[in-house]
């Protein structure tokens, strides 16, 4: 095979704009951290630039809280004592808000795949874990932010703005948001088509929402339904928030027993710390699954 050497064709081109090259240093964990922060930042930029998404994702919680919550109040009040059912709904609606926002953020990976941007990330010389962690932190931040907006409605549904309650809820929201985003990213890693997102919503997200005790109390359920609520991870996220809310209001004992029954294993009420531990453990497992899945992709 003949070889033509094209050497020194560099001289004599005054018209060319000089572009000074930069030198890229050797890779290190610092580069991975930079990648994490950048992907996190991208999620925030995209979220805050999309006003329509912010507004529409707030519409659903408002409907549940004020329409469904108000509509069901007379049913509960039939028990003899007056109780604002919206107060009961409040933690559930918080959970719902972060569930949908987090899953939506995570599933944007499928959009990135469809529109090519995922490729730009996958070819970068950084550890895949940094892409996944950045995405999860970004989605979790966005979901927590949405949760906080709903949290500000507390006064309107009979939940006091006690600082300890607000801080407790904030922490629980953030943890849950991270868990749900990691869960969504682990699923999105396998989804190739946008259409499949509908399937995920119908078969995973909606059941998770309904079985979490977000809209109805977990007490007095038939066995099959009760068992299903116990395997729904979201139950362990909604319950701590509801417990915190009931701790700060003065509800009639009968109402507390009925509405704040919590998740029980064989009659033993699972303590808050264990519930949060479960959520944290699921977060790590999902994160690990997502990292493995992305590491295997070209």
Partner 1 sequence: MTKVDSIKNGNEVGVAIGVDALAKSYGDVEAVKGVSFQVLQGETFGFLGPNGAGKSTTISMLCTLVKPTAGKAIVAGFDVLQAKADVRRNIGLVFQDTTLDDYLTAEENLRFHAELYGVPKEGLKERMDALFEMVGLEQRRNSIVGTYSGGMKRRLEIIRGLLHSPRVLFLDEPTIGLDPQTRTHIWEYIESLRKSEEITMFLTTHYMDEAENCDRIAIIDDGEIVAIDTPERLKASVGADRVGIGTQDNESAISLLREHFGLEATMSEGLVVVYVEEGERFVPRLFDGLGMTINSVSITRPTLDDVFMNYTGRTIRDAEASVSEKMASNPWLRRRR
Residues that bind partner 1 (CB under 8 A): 1-7, 9-10, 13, 15-25, 27, 30-31, 34-35, 37-38, 42, 45-46, 49-50, 112, 114-117, 119-121, 123-126, 298
Alpha helices in 152-271 (DSSP H): 163-188, 196-200, 206-210, 223-231, 235-247, 253-259
CB of 142 to partner 1, least distance (A): 14
Of residues 116 and 155, the one with the C-beta less far from partner 1: 116
Q: Confirm if 43 and 136 have CB atoms less than 8 A apart.
A: no
CA distance linking residue 61 with residue 86, whole number of Å: 11
CB of 145 to partner 1, least distance (A): 17
CB of 196 to partner 1, least distance (A): 13
Contacts of 24 (CB under 8 A, 6+ apart): none
* DSSP state at residue 152: T
CA distance linking residue 139 with residue 149, whole number of Å: 16
- Helix or strand (DSSP H, E) at 268: strand 268-269
Of residues 5 and 231, the one with the C-beta less far from partner 1: 5
CB of 35 to partner 1, least distance (A): 5
Of residues 28 and 267, the one with the C-beta less far from partner 1: 28
Of residues 42 and 230, the one with the C-beta less far from partner 1: 42
CB of 297 to partner 1, least distance (A): 10
Q: For the residues of 104-143, what is the DSSP string, one character each?
A: HHHHHHHHHHHTSHHHHHHTSSS-HHHHHHHHHHHHHHHH
């Amino acid at each position: 095979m003949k070889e033509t050497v094209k050497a020194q064709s560099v001289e004599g081109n005054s018209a060319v704009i000089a572009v000074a090259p930069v030198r890229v240093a050797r890779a290190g964990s610092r580069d991975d951290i930079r990648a994490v922060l950048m992907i996190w930042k991208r999620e925030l930029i995209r979220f805050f630039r999309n006003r329509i998404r912010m507004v529409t994702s707030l519409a659903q919680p408002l409907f549940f809280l004020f329409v469904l919550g108000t509509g069901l109040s007379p049913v509960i009040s039939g028990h003899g004592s007056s109780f604002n059912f919206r107060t009961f709904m409040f933690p559930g609606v918080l959970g719902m808000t972060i569930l949908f926002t987090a899953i939506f953020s995570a599933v944007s990976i499928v959009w990135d795949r469809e529109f090519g941007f995922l490729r730009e990330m996958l070819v970068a010389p950084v550890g895949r874990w940094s892409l996944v962690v950045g995405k999860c932190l970004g989605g979790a931040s966005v979901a927590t932010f949405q949760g906080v907006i709903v949290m500000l409605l507390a006064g309107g549904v009979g939940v006091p703005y006690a600082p300890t309650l607000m801080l407790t809820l904030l922490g629980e929201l953030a943890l849950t948001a991270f868990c749900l985003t990691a869960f969504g990213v682990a699923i999105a890693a396998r989804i190739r088509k946008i259409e499949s997102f509908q399937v995920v919503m119908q078969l995973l997200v909606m059941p998770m929402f309904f079985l979490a005790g977000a809209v109805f109390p977990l007490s007095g359920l038939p066995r099959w339904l009760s068992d299903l609520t116990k395997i729904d991870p979201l139950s362990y996220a909604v319950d701590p928030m509801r417990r915190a809310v009931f701790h700060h209001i003065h509800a009639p004992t009968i109402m507390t027993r009925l509405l704040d029954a919590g998740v029980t294993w064989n009659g033993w009420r699972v303590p808050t710390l264990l519930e949060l531990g479960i959520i944290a453990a699921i977060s790590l497992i999902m994160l690990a699954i997502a990292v493995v899945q992305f590491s295997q992709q070209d």
